[in-house]
Structure 1
Amino acid sequence: MRWIAAILIIISVAIFSGVLDFEEAYEAKKASLTIHAPGATPEQMAVIKQTGKLLFTTCDGLKKYASDIEQVEASIGGIGSRNAGWVKGVNFKIKIADNPSSLPNKWRAAGHNLFYTVVGDKRPGIDIGKSTAGWFCGVGDTSPFIDEPRGVIVDQLT
């Protein structure tokens, strides 16, 4: 029981001290995530954070099972696997824990890296780069493109 109180205190301190880059603790297990984007300028980082929130909103399994995510890395530039005239994109690599505590077994996501690219331009949306990642977006074990008009946020990248 004491370890639960200790965890809640640590999360509360992190939230209120501004340590959390993602700016919110997720409802499921009160997990918090930080986006790592080495080399991004402050302006780019602001867009990356907004894009990350869009990804976690659209693919709500990422939010629901945030406690099983070890790391979120982002980079600018990749245009996904389906070139529909995209010029800019934000790539996300999300590392799932080797021994997740809450993921459905049928997803077989333990220890996987999930890949997503949020794009804008002529066809805004989310390119799911790996079949396992589709489960987190509610589309099963397929690697589709999800049309998402709010993906135009990446067009603000310089």
Structure 2
Amino acid sequence: MSIESFLKKQPRWLQLLIAFTFLGLCILVIVLKAKSSFADEPVEEPKAKSIVTFDVGGLEDDAAEEAKVLLEAFAKQCRVEEYAPDIESIKARIEDPYPFTEEKKWPYQITLEMKISDDPKVIPNEYRAWGHTCHFSLGSNEIKAGMFLSKSPCQSICQTGSDYLTLPVITKEAGIRLKEFNNNVNYISSISGVEPEGVIEMLTLASKMLAENKNIQLSQLEISRWLYKSEDVSKALKTKTFSLAEVLALYVQLANPLNDKISNQPTIE
């Protein structure tokens, strides 16, 4: 007996059951085959979106390289890679230092704007950072690099509770200047009898007094350089004719705002 004859002799309901069972088996085979083919194909990982726009145009090569180092330090400090899914954009531009950064004596600053998603998935909820735009000011003087940042949520993202943070980075140029500064401080300490920490405090105070009283902008490094190079200062300190505090007080008193270069600073007599 053929299959066709067998089926014709069966009740109608059984014929339908057999037909649907066969159709179901066909569909199952097709689905399993499709899944097998799909599994064999390589799955492409979604490409990370570009969220960062850094423009260091207008800077000379050394300064541009320094700016890039600062930006890398910012990215590490504020966990940009970790929080990238929640960061919609980061825009950076070079500007003249803002007034509130004046004491840092930055030759320029990098202004950053970082926009946080309204519905962050990675940034902890307790930071309350959703929808915020974080503003940062980065810069580097002759000794240290750092950044100013406002808003508590943004400070939490960058692992600090303060509106200023020293960045753990020393650029190439800053490293050279720091080595010179430490050398100057150690020499001044050796001939004045003042501990290096005390020398640095006095240099900082002298720099601040020059700015406030004479409108002369000189860094601690520049003042230390004058103390280091001046034969009159060395003689006065070695012979105890003047103390370091007296030398710096006289320096501030005699400094000429029209002649504020190191080579033209007053002579200690």
How high is the TM-score relative to the length of structure 2? 0.40
Q: Pick from 61, 73, 96 the counterpart of residue 116 of structure 2.
A: 96
2:122 match: secondary structure: coil
Q: Pick from 117, 122, 134 the counterpart of residue 155 of structure 2.
A: 134
Q: Pick from 61, 64, 67 the counterpart of residue 85 of structure 2.
A: 67
Give the distance between the partners of 1:79 and 1:115, measured in 2 at CA. Answer: 14
Query: Greater helix percent: which structure?
Result: 2
2:70 match: secondary structure: helix
Name the residue aligned to 2:138.
Answer: 118
1:47 Cα shift? 5.3
Q: Is the 8 A contact 2:148 2:164 kept in 1?
A: yes
Using CA pairs below 8 Å that are at least 6 residues apart, which structure has the higher relative contact order?
A: 1
Give the distance between the partners of 1:82 and 1:97, measured in 2 at CA. Answer: 29
User: Identity percentage over the alignment?
Assistant: 20
Distance change >3 Å, CA 148–CA 117, structure 1 → 2: farther
Give the distance between the partners of 2:85 and 2:65, measured in 1 at CA. Answer: 23
Give the distance between the partners of 1:138 and 1:82, measured in 2 at CA. Answer: 21
Q: Is the 8 A contact 1:119 1:125 kept in 2?
A: yes
Unaligned segments of structure 2, at least 5 residues: 1-37, 175-269
Give the distance between the partners of 2:134 and 2:173, measured in 1 at CA. Answer: 21
Q: In the TM superposition, what are the counterparts of 1:76-95 in structure 2 within 5 Å?
A: 76-79=94-97, 81-83=100-102, 84-95=104-115
Distance change >3 Å, CA 93–CA 109, structure 1 → 2: same
Distance change >3 Å, CA 49–CA 125, structure 1 → 2: same
Distance change >3 Å, CA 45–CA 73, structure 1 → 2: farther
How high is the TM-score relative to the length of structure 1? 0.63
Q: Is the 8 A contact 1:78 1:89 kept in 2?
A: yes
Number of corresponding residues: 128
Q: Is the 8 A contact 2:70 2:139 kept in 1?
A: no
Q: Is the 8 A contact 2:70 2:169 kept in 1?
A: no
1:136 Cα shift? 1.5
Query: Greater strand percent: which structure?
Result: 1
Give the distance between the partners of 1:130 and 1:151, measured in 2 at CA. Answer: 27
Q: Is the 8 A contact 2:66 2:172 kept in 1?
A: no
Distance change >3 Å, CA 152–CA 139, structure 1 → 2: farther
RMSD: 3.2
Unaligned segments of structure 1, at least 5 residues: 12-29
